[in-house]
Chain A
Amino acid sequence: DGGITQSPKYLFRKEGQNVTLSCEQNLNHDAMYWYRQDPGQGLRLIYYSQIVNDFQKGDIAEGYSVSREKKESFPLTVTSAQKNPTAFYLCASSSRTPRLSASYGYTFGSGTRLTVV
């Protein structure tokens, strides 16, 4: 079955440590996204990528980095510069509708819950 796989499901980070969250999709979607969700909050965009080897900053990119070397993969690194990284991280992907170039519905991974210890 096609879908998005995020790993790990739970991640614990020590102060000053960089960690990488994995996101892999086999849906052949061109666009991929990373979101952060805090309790009771909506989704905030960290980075997004519409094609391989290209990505754009979202609203809260500081302290995060990404790469898009393959269409299927869009890993997110949470660096030590991110002072409050404890959150639920969601990866999503989408394709483009033929009309108006709008996005089809996003498919989300099951998320990674990151906690600073």
Chain B
Amino acid sequence: QQPVQSPQAVILREGEDAVINCSSSKALYSVHWYRQKHGEAPVFLMILLKGGEQMRHEKISASFNEKKQQSSLYLTASQLSYSGTYFCGTEHDNNRKLIWGLGTSLAVNP
């Protein structure tokens, strides 16, 4: 039931692009994306609702494929500040309870 994130880790040079995927075995109600820096709390990036449109947050965008039960996070022209662990959280009904993936570690180097 826990969503599967891939890849587990990514290393980029500043300016490169990356894609992080979040797949679920159950039908999705919504998908949340968060970024957590070491020793800090996760910070909300965006939410994708069933039937909703692709979302953007600065140079980060995300898509939601209901048929594949999958969401993808696109990081374009990465900046050093993008480094951290990215988590997806999925809702499968209206019980307001997110199920979290194990995270994708992203390191952006100069």
> Residue-by-residue, is B75-102 near A (CB-CB < 8 Å gives 1, otherwise 0)?
0000000000001010100101110111
A80 within 8 A of B: no
A22 within 8 A of B: no
Partner of A102, one of B30, B44, B46, B101: B30
Give the interface size class of chain B: 20 to 34
B106 within 8 A of A: no
B32 touching A43, Cβ below 8 Å: no
In the complex, residue of chain B having the shortest beta-carbon distance to the beta carbon of A4:
B41
Partner of B87, one of A43, A44, A110: A43
Cα-based distance from A41 to B105 in the complex (angstroms): 11
A-side interface residues, number (CB < 8 Å): 26
In the complex, residue of chain B having the shortest beta-carbon distance to the beta carbon of A101:
B94
Cα-based distance from A103 to B96 in the complex (angstroms): 6
B42 touching A102, Cβ below 8 Å: no
A16 within 8 A of B: no
Quick one: given A102-B91, A108-B42, are A41 and B102 in contact (CB under 8 Å)? yes
Cα-based distance from A73 to B98 in the complex (angstroms): 20
Partner of A100, one of B30, B41, B89: B30
B43 touching A42, Cβ below 8 Å: no
Partner of A107, one of B44, B97, B98: B44
B98 touching A106, Cβ below 8 Å: yes
Which chain B residues border A31 with CB–CB below 8 Å? 96
Cα-based distance from A43 to B86 in the complex (angstroms): 12
Quick one: given A42-B102, A90-B42, A97-B49, are A106 and B96 in contact (CB under 8 Å)? no
B41 touching A111, Cβ below 8 Å: yes
Given contacts A102-B91, A103-B47, 14 further A-B pairs with CB under 8 A are: A31-B96, A42-B100, A43-B42, A44-B100, A48-B96, A94-B96, A100-B49, A103-B96, A105-B32, A105-B34, A105-B45, A105-B46, A108-B41, A110-B40
| Chain A residues near B (Cβ < 8 Å) | 31, 41-45, 48, 50, 58, 90, 94, 96-97, 99-111
